[in-house]
Amino acid sequence: MSMAKFLTRRLLQGIFVIWGVVTIMFGLRAVAPGDPANMMLAEGATQELVEQVRREEGLNEPVYVQYVDYVQGLVTGDFGYSWQSNREVEAMVIERIPATVELTIAATIVALVIAIPLGVISATRRNEPADYGATLFSLLGISTPNFWLGLMLILVFGVWAGLLPTGRRPVGFGEAVLTLVRYGSVYDLLVWLKHIALPALTLGTYFTALITRLTRSGMVDELGKPYVTASRAKGLPSVLVRYKHVLRNTMIPVITVLGLQMGTLMGGAVITETVFNWPGLGLRLIDALGTRDWPLMQGIVVFIAVAFVTINIAVDAVYSYLDPQVSEG
Amino acid sequence: MQGADTTRLDRRTLLKITGAAGTTGLAAMGGCLSDPGSDDETNEITITLSQFPDTIDPLDHITGDYFDVYDHIYEPLFDFEPGEGIFSRVVEDWEAQGDGSTELSLRDGVVFHNGDDLTAEDVAWTINRTVDPEMGVPSPIGTYGLGSIEGASAIDDTTVSVEYSAAPGLAEFEFGNYARAIDKEWAIENHDAENDAISGSDPEDFNGTGPYEVVDFTSGEEIVLERFDDYWGDEPPFERVTFNADGESSGRVNSLETGETDLTINILPEDVDTVRSADGVEIRQVTSFRNIFCPMKNTVEPFDSQEFRQAMNYAVDNQEIVDTILSGFGEPRGQPVAPGINGFNDDIEPYEQDIGMAESLVEESGYGGVEIELTAPQGRYLNDADVGETVADQIDQLENVSCESNIVDFGVVSDANQAGVDPDGFEIPFYMIGWGTITGDTDYGVQGFFTIPDNPNRTFDDEELSDAILESQQIEDPDERRQQLEEVNQMAHEKAPFVFLHTQESIYGVREDIEWEPREDETVYIWGMET
């Protein structure tokens, strides 16, 4: 199969996945208990008002008509209006993307900075205390629920030690960089860094553990291969062998997982953002759930699905370029 | 071994280089660490709510957290003091005309944040926009808050006539709390406000006459206000006010402990000790106007029996619920409204748990052996799910009644409360809900639940009770009206349309040096604070 055909097939699969997500979300909205019109009006609305809202929002139409209208809207880029704020859903989604992207990238950086050295140490000192420590860390990292870890970090670093703020994002990374450029001040950058530290650590911990394990097992495999023995026999320094040759080869599956896990990280961000009141898409999703703001909920979930599918297709594309066997099936 | 030696040497070199670079970097940054946008932070306050306003139209929702923010921008026309009545603010003077209208005289020199003068036309238009469902935004403020107000018109530049269908005393409670002013021309030109709710995400999308104007707004995150220089009244105590929100009580408490916020609301009883043990902050509390109760729709069995409904009240130990689940942050109640509300009846004692009495009343009702379910919300009121489960457990203790609890999202309960009394129109006849009588008048706490004409959302069908409320709405003499409302509360106690539970306390965490007393109506006004 040519690469073009492979990517076309993946694209069609991706569209099918997104359509599935859209349909499931709409189905959930249809079967969820409660009248959306009542939720839009909150306490105290009369029946007349409720009826008026039902008419205006098309809630009296048969479900299939509402579904077709909704899908048509999505295809034309119209996600509708938030039932609570009357604002366009697209705008409400877009304005929250930077916070989630910042958090996801920061968590990835945290994971890579900690995991790769840890994985290398663990692999090169197999069955030594350092290896046991790293393995234990991986096990704990994979087993610890995000929300619990977040609360503990808040308690220790925020409340007890008073070193870091317990939540919120008073300034975005972009604004912080602008302040640096305009005024030569790193103040905003430090504020941003202080606020993102605990959420990034929380979100990145599972990922750190995963990459540590991958790096370790990859390194262990590679270290047993003949080219390593040959390199050492040639008298190459072991540091050079480990980091220039072995680690580089180990990184291929790590980078693949990195790409695939970005979507998972965005999903995990829902919990982390809620714990730290970090104003990203996840927190907005939870807020929308609380008020049963279905258009907003659907918009966010569809966006996350699109992002997830896009990242996966991009990773597949890169992977099939690097390894033509993938596209050949 | 050669490699290992090289590594050690490299690592040291690396550390030296890193240390030197770090020191140089820090030295270079020495002058760059100050906040370029900050001047004086001493005159600021940050308030953390439990819910950030998701609409910017001040007439869109009846939600306490929203009023906490928007009342500083779109101030109320009157000052309302719980238990005392209304006082002049934007409206300097007012007089009932005896023909179903009251004339309001506006203060001179009141201007909107965009510089426009406030006119009587603005006030009349805002009231009409609130009460007329065909205009602007379908507003529960109009149907409940201004329930008896029919409309308003401008008589001249500074005089507004407000027309109503009830006695002046009741109308006064309503427009005294819920009348505000929006700049008509600005709202229509910029927001098509006669056809839609005001929406937007910029500071310029707000324009009131309040003591603060919006300088920064991040939708869903934060709204920053600064003193409005041309405000007609006294200068409020803080130059700059930031409102943000955290949906979790523990999160709000963390922010308070770490100094990230100065005042926060809705602290749960289990978090109170954490605040009390922290430095520089303290708990302040007040018995609110919010009653928690369980309506029983009397158009279906077994709730059509007064004996059965009374039995449910005798089955529940309200004092124990307050003492254990609310850690004392509440008061048992036996009527629809809280103390301090006009018409609250001091003579009514809460039902006291009496299992024997409850069981015999159940037998009298003819519904012995019945199975019922109590639907209760989660996360809306103080420990609401626990309260609901305990109420159901206590009813279940009766030998002749089986009761289970069903914990749901608040929306399900809200729907049940709106569904009316037609047995074909609802599925949940017995549920737990709370109601804050924030106008300070019993009418607001009972008419939506009990009056029959033009009220398909009522939860109880009883002509005697309905007539008593309707009669009270037409009584002009304040004392006579208060007595009638006390009678309404007595009647409600006996007819037992609810399982009466408790009045909950509002619990706040506050920086110690802020002088401020919480209010029964749950509002937080900056102008009521001092430092």
Which pLDDT belongs to residue A42? 57
Residue B214 DSSP code = E
Please, what is the Cα angle at B89 between B83 and B91, to 5 degrees?
110
Pick the residue of A56, A183, A273, A277 with the most B CBs within 10 A to test the interface with B by mutation.
A277
**In this predicted model, what pLDDT tens digit does every residue of B27-82 receive, in sequence order?**
444 445 555 555 455 699 999 998 888 789 998 777 778 899 999 999 999 999 88
The band of B492, judged by pLDDT with boundaries at 50, 70 and 90, is very high
pLDDT in tens, B353-405: 999 999 999 999 999 999 999 999 987 899 999 999 999 999 999 999 999 99
CA B52 to each of CA A52, B156, B247: distance values in angstroms, whole numbers, following the listed order:
26, 38, 9
Assess whether pLDDT exceeds 70 at residue B18: no
**pLDDT for A272-284, tens place per residue?**
999 998 999 999 9
Residues 6+ apart with CB under 8 A from B414: A34, A38, A39, A42, A43, B433
The residue of chain B nearest to residue A56, with distances taken between CA atoms, is B138
Long-range CB pairs of B275-280, under 8 A, 24+ apart, other chains included: B275/B509, B280/B511, B280/B512, B280/B513
- The percentage of residues in chain B with a pLDDT greater than 70, rounded to a whole number, is 92
Handedness of CA A136, A137, A138, A144 (dihedral sign): positive
Range name among A109-123, B131-145, B146-160, B305-319 with the lowest pLDDT average: B131-145
Out of A87-101, A294-308, B135-149, B261-275, pick the least confident: B135-149
- What are the Cα distances from residue A250, in Å, to A219, A221, B4, B129? 6, 9, 22, 67
Q: Which residue of A has its CA nearest to B275?
A: A159
Q: What span, in angstroms and rounded, lies between the C-alpha atoms of B527 and B531?
A: 11
d(CA B222, CA B55): 13
Report the complex ipTM.
Answer: 0.74
Q: Which of B418, B427, B454 has the most A C-beta neighbours within 10 Å, making it the best mutation to test the interface with A?
A: B418
| Rounded mean pLDDT, A77-101 | 89
Residue pair A291/A84 in contact (Cβ under 8 Å)? The answer is yes
Identify which of A41, A95, A159 has the shortest CB distance to residue B138. Answer: A41
Query: Cα separation of A109 and A34, whole Å?
Result: 43
Amino acid letter, residue B526: I
Contact A212, A115 (CB under 8 A): yes
Q: How far apart are CA A170 and CA B46, in angstroms?
A: 12
The C-alpha atoms of residue B295 and residue B433 are separated, in whole angstroms, by 8
Which of helix, strand or coil describes residue B505? strand
- Displacement of CA B383 from its chain's centroid (Å): 17
The verdict on a CB contact (< 8 Å) between B29 and A41 is: no
- Closest residue on chain B to A185 (Cα): B32
> Chain B neighbours among A 267-306 (CB < 8 Å)?
274-275, 277, 279, 283-284, 286-287, 290-293
C-alpha triplet A166, A167, A172: angle, nearest 5°: 135
A16-44 pLDDT, tens per residue?
A: 999 999 999 999 888 877 777 776 765 55
* pLDDT(B9) > 60: no
Q: Closest Cα of chain A to B438: distance in Å?
A: 13
**What mean pLDDT value characterizes chain B?**
90
B220 contacts A92? CB cut-off 8 A: yes
Which candidate from A39, A43, A186 shows the least CB-CB separation from B33? A186
Interface test with B, best of A31, A43, A243, A275 (most B CBs within 10 A): A43
Q: Tokens in use for B73?
A: 């921008």
Structure tokens at B206: 């707000």
Q: Of A55-59, B394-398, B483-487, give the lowest mean pLDDT range.
A: A55-59
Contact state of B415 with A82 under an 8 Å Cβ cutoff: no
Q: For residue A75, what are its two tokens? A: 């295809």
